[in-house]
Structure 1
Amino acid sequence: MSIFETGLGPSAVNHVALSPLSFIERTASVYGDYPSVIYGPIRRNWRQTYERCRRLASALVRHGIGKGDTVAVMLPNIPEMLEVHFGVPMIGAVLNTLNVRLDAQAIAFMLEHGEAKVLITDREFHAVIRKALGSLAQPPLVIDVNDPAYSDGEAVSPLDYEAFLADGDPRFAWQWPADEWQAISLNYTSGTTGDPKGVIYHHRGAYLNALGNQMTWAMGHHPVYLWTLPMFHCNGWCYPWTVTALAGTHVFLRRIDPQRILALINEHRVSHLCGAPVVFNGLVNLPEANRITLDHPVDAMLAGAAPPAKVIDAVERMGIKVTHVYGLTEVYGPVTVCAWHTQWDEQPLEERARIKSRQGVRYPTLEGLMVADPQTLEPVPFDGTCVGEIFMRGNTVMKGYLKNPRATDEAFDGGWFHTGDLAVRHPDGYVEIKDRLKDIIISGGENISTIEIEDVLYRHPAVLEAAVVARPDEKWGETPCAFVTLKADYQAIGEADIILFCREHLAGFKLPRTVVFVELPKTSTGKIQKYLLRDWAKAL
């Protein structure tokens, strides 16, 4: 009998659903006394953190929350954000981490669209949360997080997070997901339009991408990880689960402060951190008197627009080794890496920086990566010249978009995930992005829809026509640049007037940083020629 005809199938003995929940159970049992959390004066070990996660799960159940229910959180990088990444899925609920930079209208949409039953929110965001909740017909149960490190906020709810945990059982018997395809989290992205799309992650993908982070970065046992990356973004690129699996230490930073980053790295011997180029620009632009040369190895993972060579050089002179990665919300964060070859160390700075700017090759946990014709899906030659769209497939691709089958079908057309990013593939197989198919602006690591900004601009009574493109920015990577044609009777309107109007309708990071008044270039059919506007923006 052939080995393939034995009739043996999966059973409880040899098949268990993959889930990152297994990481914290193992770490707490094996390394319970090892440090898990450092935040200001707070110090916890893995046994204590595991108990707090179980208390959260238990308390949620006591309030009627269960499998498939959405628990939204509006939190900065504080220990509670780690706890929700385990406590919420422990009961089969779905974690929805909200972007703390968004306005009330966007937050309200997400709470309603995601059908949030619970909202756990930090006092810093009381104003936007109150406004968002006020527009909902059925607001969720709100739990207030009072961070002693932040004293300027106000409670939105009398239900306190610590009191909520106290009502939970530290020995709560949480349930392993019966199906690894079960949703674990919901992340909203602007995508290529102004309407947010809800990206659904599953336990299997979260588990695998968390392991992919370790395999790609070789983090080793017990890393000390500094949270400079927003944890709301793609579930912190799955690092809440990765660092936990490695029995590492989570060092929390409520808001980005270059001086504080250096101090924490030095004080706690931080080994790893992630972020957008703006984080590292802040470090290298500190006054000379405030800079220090680190005396221990530090690895930094960077995603987004690659920084200039001088920034890479300055960062590495500080003792921080840079690794460039690429990904999207739809694929759990980074899934490609500019995997380094030792012979490249001998190259001059400019050449090393050029190589590091490439998006690279797939993670070991991503099964397929290609650059191909967007229509035919025919792969482009590996010549570093022919441009195509980046496509992906594998276990770390999202389940799909919540309540949006049309967008899901479009994204998965042809059996590949369409990223919308245009790139070339070099002879060595490394991918390098050249443009964005749908004009998305990536500023400080955040996606900004040009369509959303244009919609606001057209609401201004003085605006006849408007178009928005990305303008290169040394600090943020890119910022929105608006090209506006004014109506004849409003020629006195200036840049400040336009930006002030946008401020009333958009989150701060989405505001145009530059406004140019001009007659918009168009094709013979009346379509605005954005490729010309991009060239103009670069020349400003």
Structure 2
Amino acid sequence: MTRHAASTYGDREFLRFPDTSLTFAAADERSDRLAGALIDKGVRPGDRVAIMMDNVPGWPLSWLAILKAGAITVPVNVRYRAADLEHVLRDSGAVATVTTAEHAPHLPGTVHLLDALKNGTLRPTAPANPDDVANFQYTSGTTGFPKACMLTHDYWLRTARIAADQVRLRDDDVFMIAQAYSYMDPQWVTLLCLLGGIPLVVLPRFSASGFWASAREHGATLTYVLGTMPLLMHKQPPHPHDRDNRMRVVLCSGIQPDLHRTFEERWGTPWRELYGSTESGPDLVVPIDAEETVGTGAMGLAPPGKEVELAAETGEILVRGVPMMKGYWNHPEATAHAFRDGWYHTGDLGFRDSHGYIHHAGRIKDMVRRGGENISCAEVESVLARHPAVLSAALVPIPDELFGELPKAFLQLRPGHAATPETANSVIEHARERLARFKIPAYVEFVEEFPLTPSARVEKRHLLPPGRDQRAAPAIQVDKEQK
């Protein structure tokens, strides 16, 4: 694919980083040399090779190089340490890790510094079979150790094409991305830009205060955001140049319905849902011109190649078709469980409206079971985050002898607000006005910042370390009755 893009688009700009710009031809040539260097180091077809780098040009070039060498890429989050890092490298069976000097000291096993791989022997590379595995893409789950989704070359190309069709990709587009490259979104966006011959602007990291300034600076017309990113941008003070941008579509997973129209009016561009998962790629898309979906929470319709059904009127979202992972590496039982009855079980609940659009109705696993009641964490988090003192919120279940589980809220405050019992009670009073009694958190704890997955979702397992009493200080009990 890089070869075709290089011959088709040649000297057009492909990758734009803060201090580097590469054409399609240059990216092809540099990834060829990296592939040769890896082969010189003993990498063979089918080997797993990890990448652990920040958002630097070496990340996408190494990804392309590993695939050109016939090997399988294992993306590694640069924030991983000790247990997470050991798990991914051991579980994947990675023969080596390509990295940069700042991350090398943390890595066990064979390490190849990127700077030492620049002058490999150029070799012809055999074209990949579409069904060959390209990535062991570890899921950024909020609980438990991640599992590797085996994603094929065909998976990646189909994912890129679906997104390109959704945004009606144009020759003058510029795509901007701010997620970590170890997450899948920058990877399919890279392929989308290879398909369309357009520039990809890669920001070092997501900055809520700087995102739209970067969009103006780079003339971005397309972007993708998810998780906490939209709300964090919305909480920035309005700027006189908010609408001074070239953006023509913002793709987003999880647009807050009551803020959807506000987003569009503030930044002057359509925001459209793209729903899917690492396991299944894009499952639902909302077309650009579907203005009737704004503010409804509709996640869209299945793209060509996909079928999406519901297990009940309001039930689990089930998916089959292509793209789809080949399964979880080293987890045949989890694979069989995920693909029961020939459908991939997403773990998300949904319902279908009168227009056929599917809406999200919570996560099956991201729930608190308080007595006989099920509490959607996402619903409570959304309400808590609307309090003026709250920047971000996470709800987790903690054990309780009487109720089985109780909801505990972790809150990150906006600057200027104190982490006091008075603030905690103010947030809870705000929730009581908007939620059923049983959904009100029993405890509140303040955090300076949240541990986030690469997809900007709160990594809840790190909020509940083993052996710690979640009711003890610094937790604040705010629901004395617990009924």
TM range, smaller chain: 0.7 to 0.9
1:311–1:101 distance in 2 versus 1, CA, 3 Å:
farther
- Measured after TM superposition, the shift of residue 164 of structure 1 is 1.1
The answer to whether structure 1 residue 63 and structure 2 residue 36 are counterparts is no
The answer to whether structure 1 residue 162 and structure 2 residue 115 are counterparts is yes
Q: In the alignment, which residue of structure 2 is the partner of 1:362?
A: 302
Q: In the alignment, which residue of structure 1 is the partner of 2:111?
A: 142
Matches of 2:445 and 2:43, distance apart in 1: 43
- Measured after TM superposition, the shift of residue 117 of structure 1 is 1.1
Contact 2:283 2:308 in 1 (8 A): no
Q: In the alignment, which residue of structure 2 is the partner of 1:149?
A: none
Q: In the alignment, which residue of structure 2 is the partner of 1:331?
A: 280
Q: In the alignment, which residue of structure 1 is the partner of 2:321?
A: 394
The answer to whether structure 1 residue 406 and structure 2 residue 384 are counterparts is no
The answer to whether structure 1 residue 206 and structure 2 residue 133 are counterparts is no
Structure 1 residues 6-64: Cα deviation after superposition (integer angstroms, max 9, x where no partner): xxxxxxxxxxxxxxxx2x21111121110112212312211111111111111110000
TM-score scaled by length of structure 2: 0.76
Contact 1:258 1:279 in 2 (8 A): yes
Contact 1:222 1:246 in 2 (8 A): no
Matches of 1:263 and 1:309, distance apart in 2: 25
- Measured after TM superposition, the shift of residue 274 of structure 1 is 0.7
Structure 1 residues 504-533: Cα deviation after superposition (integer angstroms, max 9, x where no partner): x998843449x9749xxxxxxxxxxxxxxx
- Measured after TM superposition, the shift of residue 173 of structure 1 is 1.6
Structure 1 residues 213-245: Cα deviation after superposition (integer angstroms, max 9, x where no partner): 111221222521111233222253611111111
1:372–1:485 distance in 2 versus 1, CA, 3 Å:
closer
Q: Structure 1 unaligned runs (5+)? A: 1-21, 134-138, 144-159, 345-350, 374-385, 441-449, 452-466, 487-494, 519-535
Matches of 2:225 and 2:18, distance apart in 1: 21
1:59–1:362 distance in 2 versus 1, CA, 3 Å:
same
Q: In the alignment, which residue of structure 2 is the partner of 1:446?
A: none
Matches of 1:237 and 1:62, distance apart in 2: 25
Select between 211-220 and 225-234 the one with higher mean Cα deviation: 225-234
* Equivalent position to 2:124, from 163, 169, 173: 173
TM-score scaled by length of structure 1: 0.69
Matches of 1:124 and 1:498, distance apart in 2: 37
Q: In the alignment, which residue of structure 2 is the partner of 1:352?
A: 294
- Measured after TM superposition, the shift of residue 275 of structure 1 is 1.3
Structure 1 residues 181-202: Cα deviation after superposition (integer angstroms, max 9, x where no partner): 1100011126586132111001
Matches of 2:31 and 2:317, distance apart in 1: 38
Matches of 1:245 and 1:98, distance apart in 2: 25
User: Counterpart of 2:16 in 1: which secondary structure?
Assistant: strand
The answer to whether structure 1 residue 249 and structure 2 residue 199 are counterparts is yes
1:506–1:265 distance in 2 versus 1, CA, 3 Å:
closer
1:342–1:368 distance in 2 versus 1, CA, 3 Å:
closer
Q: In the alignment, which residue of structure 1 is the partner of 2:71?
A: 93
Contact 1:225 1:270 in 2 (8 A): yes
Q: In the alignment, which residue of structure 2 is the partner of 1:429?
A: 356
User: Counterpart of 2:274 in 1: which secondary structure?
Assistant: strand
The answer to whether structure 1 residue 419 and structure 2 residue 346 are counterparts is yes
Matches of 2:217 and 2:18, distance apart in 1: 12
Q: Map of 1:8-407 to 2, 5 A cutoff?
A: 22=1, 24-123=2-101, 125=103, 130=106, 133=107, 139-143=108-112, 160-165=113-118, 167-169=119-121, 171-177=122-128, 179-189=129-139, 194-234=144-184, 236=186, 238-289=188-239, 291-304=241-254, 306-310=255-259, 312-332=261-281, 334-342=282-290, 344=292, 352-354=294-296, 357-364=297-304, 366-373=305-312, 386-407=313-334
Structure 1 residues 395-443: Cα deviation after superposition (integer angstroms, max 9, x where no partner): 2110001011111111111111111111111222211121212227xxx
User: Counterpart of 2:95 in 1: which secondary structure?
Assistant: strand
User: Counterpart of 1:326 in 2: which secondary structure?
Assistant: strand
Contact 1:468 1:482 in 2 (8 A): no
Considering fraction of residues, name the structure with more helix.
1
Contact 1:192 1:438 in 2 (8 A): no
Contact 2:37 2:117 in 1 (8 A): yes
- Measured after TM superposition, the shift of residue 99 of structure 1 is 2.7
User: Counterpart of 1:54 in 2: which secondary structure?
Assistant: helix
Matches of 1:419 and 1:359, distance apart in 2: 14
Contact 2:45 2:71 in 1 (8 A): yes
What amino acid does structure 2 have at the position aligned with 1:54? Answer: D
User: Counterpart of 2:210 in 1: which secondary structure?
Assistant: helix
Structure 1 residues 303-325: Cα deviation after superposition (integer angstroms, max 9, x where no partner): 13x22533641444322321111
Q: In the alignment, which residue of structure 1 is the partner of 2:436?
A: none
- Measured after TM superposition, the shift of residue 296 of structure 1 is 2.5
1:432–1:477 distance in 2 versus 1, CA, 3 Å:
farther
1:317–1:195 distance in 2 versus 1, CA, 3 Å:
closer
- Measured after TM superposition, the shift of residue 499 of structure 1 is 7.0
Structure 1 residues 424-479: Cα deviation after superposition (integer angstroms, max 9, x where no partner): 11222211121212227xxxxxxxxx99xxxxxxxxxxxxxxx9955414388762
1:427–1:113 distance in 2 versus 1, CA, 3 Å:
same
Residues matched between the structures, number: 416
Matches of 1:225 and 1:104, distance apart in 2: 34
Contact 2:308 2:318 in 1 (8 A): yes
User: Counterpart of 2:381 in 1: which secondary structure?
Assistant: strand
1:270–1:411 distance in 2 versus 1, CA, 3 Å:
same
RMSD: 3.6
What amino acid does structure 2 have at the position aligned with 1:142? Answer: V
Matches of 2:186 and 2:207, distance apart in 1: 18
